[in-house]
Amino acid sequence: MDDTGERIKPLPVTTDKQTTMQTFQNGQPTHFIRTGPLAHKPFSIPPDTWRLIFKQIHGSSRNTTTQEGNYKRLTRWHYTPSKLKSLFPTTSSHCWRCHDPEGHTTHIWWTCPVISNYWKRLHSLIQTTLYIYIPFTPISFLFLTCPQTTNKLKAVLLTHLLSAANQLIPTL
């Protein structure tokens, strides 16, 4: 209420169109999530996997910074070279790690040779230390869709390990 007794209405949020769209409706991901830049041809996410992804990311950590990083990855919040090229035509769309001409989201987070080696080493580490088999797919590693294990401690360790590994990607 203001001084005159009238109710103060909140100001409308003026952000870009993609961030104002909802990402989850009636238990299903919206068109924005399913068909965005992360739906590149190297991998696509089946509709029945979306609920598992949202549940896993929501419960991945109590740390808000970790959860924020997971949500940013899910909604493609990060500026990749190809996204920067579309915003600023004079910038390069090449990957800053390997200088590949394709600097899209899938390349930056999964198919870049530097990152690919990182994921292979992590996959090997998980198998040798936790004795858990994880399919070597971007859905498993980027969106924490880990296999259900009987050992709760291993499942929690795996979730935290993958979250920490994902947070290191921008620094590599």
Would you kindly state where each structural domain of the chain is located, as residue ranges? 47-77+109-171
Mean pLDDT per 10-residue segment, the chain (172 residues): 53 41 48 47 65 70 72 70 84 85 81 90 91 85 74 82 83 77
Output the pLDDT for position 161: 87
Q: Phi and psi for 71 in degrees, rounded to 5?
A: -70, -40
For the residues of 142-161, what is the DSSP string, one character each? Answer: HS--PPP-S-HHHHHHHHHH
Beta bridge pairs of residue 28:
25
Residues 6+ apart with CB under 8 A from 88: none
Output the pLDDT for position 15: 42
Output the pLDDT for position 157: 85
User: Model-level pTM?
Assistant: 0.63
